[in-house]
Homo-oligomer: A and B are copies of this chain.
Amino acid sequence: MAAPDHVSVALLGAGTVGAQVVRLLTERTDDLAARAGAPLKLVGIAVSDIDREREPWIPRDLLTTDADELVTRADIVVELIGGIDPPRRLVHAALASGATVVTGNKALLAAHGPELFDAAAAADANLYYEAAVAGAIPVVYALRESLAGDTVTEVLGIVNGTTNYVLDEMVTKGLTFDQAVADAQALGFAEADPSADVDGHDAAAKAALLASLAFHTRVPLDMVPVEGIRDVTVEEIAAAKEAGFALKLLAVARRSQAPGGISVRVGPTLVPEDHPLASVRGAFNAVVVESEAAGRLMFYGQGAGGAPTASAVLSDVVAAASHVVLGGRAPRESAYAALPILPPANQAVTARFTIEIEDRPGMLATVAGVLAEEGISIDSVRQAPHVEPAEGTDGPRTAHLTITTHRTWEDALATCLTRLADVAGVRAVLTARRIEGV
């Protein structure tokens, strides 16, 4: 087979990321040709509105509204439209026509990944998605290829920049959640409707993809339990910090032996202050991978934004192009392990929770008794300074009791917290968070 004189690239979508992809493709023609083995030629850009004002470097003669036609006439189709439809239909069409697909669409992959991977395999076509997880950070690459000779045991990731920015603002400036979200919106780090970020859904899609890659097992999005950060308070963060923890929204995926399977979840999580994830500031992302031979690895960088995400897209485009030029193919979806995904109740957990109790003799013994009955072993107990009853009330004085557990099970923890709420003298369960990275 003679090497082709160029590799054709079709772009679907010309938004923030797409515009940066066009800029890099046109500014760095010679560099990209040297790395790919042949010149990359942009053959079309599918948009919904040809007449909209666009960045000056977008070649207007390449714009088209006929995406279905465009995907049939390129070696590489880059999908940056976002959302499920029409990307799902267009990716299928591109794969069916033998094109390599590069996408940054985590929602599409989390919802319909298996179907798309099957379609790619059936068409003997390649599907790349570095930009779908943690933006510019090459963690898909690392899990797909660099750790191919190793066995991953755990992945902990800060994979949503918006929530990390919000939590960081609460820590460093003492802002409330609402104030910090407003700040993030003003700076463009959060959407007008921030729920996909702050409720953890964006992180959950990435958690499903990371777990699938790390454990060679298809992990459906609806098997990922999610908690967001709306209920996090400045007071909780300050108390955690005093105890030596940072509170981060983490995607957690772990392989366990007994019961054998995969635990995966997203939620506000305590990590020790000397853990590398604790010092990830602002809108940065970071993913810590623990594996049997390599030990602990961390990958850190910008998880979003036009140029960083475009860098990840271009790395996939160059890899795809060199396969067009030289033969070979991308690593296929690796799902040979097919480990069971543990229901939340059967997952192991270490937790730290704070309850408000009446400050009278015997309360600690009662609380400790409930934990013992649920088989939960206590690592440490801390009783905070007394809290006086509100003025004008004559109730007894109260105290805050903070308990850190040893490793236990989610169902035991849930039962325990429910029972504690009903114990006479317990006013409320104030916070309960998982601990990772210890």
Known: A138-B142, A293-B310. A300 touches B301 (CB 8 A): no
Cβ B298 vs Cβ A300 within 8 A: yes
A172 to chain B, nearest CB (A): 11
Task: Report which of B293, B315, B318, B328 forms a contact with A314, defined as CB distance below 8 A.
Answer: B293
Task: Report which of B28, B138, B141, B328 forms a contact with A328, defined as CB distance below 8 A.
Answer: B328
- Residue A308 interfacial (CB < 8 Å): yes
- Per the bound structure, the CA–CA distance linking A294 and B310 in Å amounts to 8
Cβ B293 vs Cβ A301 within 8 A: no
**In the complex, per-residue mask of A133-171: 1 if CB is within 8 Å of any chain B CB, else 0:** 000111001100111111100000000000000000000
Q: Which of A29-37, A178-186, A368-376 contacts B (4 or more CB under 8 A)?
A: A29-37
Cβ A300 vs Cβ B276 within 8 A: yes
- Residue A212 interfacial (CB < 8 Å): no
Q: Chain copies in the assembly?
A: 2
- Per the bound structure, the CA–CA distance linking A4 and B24 in Å amounts to 39
- Per the bound structure, the CA–CA distance linking A305 and B294 in Å amounts to 9
Cβ A31 vs Cβ B308 within 8 A: no
Give the A interface residue count (CB, 8 A).
59
Q: Which of A90-98, A319-327, A414-422 contacts B (4 or more CB under 8 A)?
A: A319-327
Chain B residue contacts of A219, Cβ below 8 A: none
Cβ A315 vs Cβ B149 within 8 A: yes
Q: Which residues of A contact B (CB under 8 A)?
A: 20, 24, 28, 31-32, 34-36, 130, 136-138, 141-142, 145-151, 216, 274, 276, 279, 281, 291-302, 305, 307-308, 310-315, 317-319, 322-323, 326-329, 331, 334, 336
Q: List 7 A-B contacts (CB under 8 A).
A: A136-B295, A141-B145, A291-B311, A293-B308, A294-B302, A322-B328, A323-B328
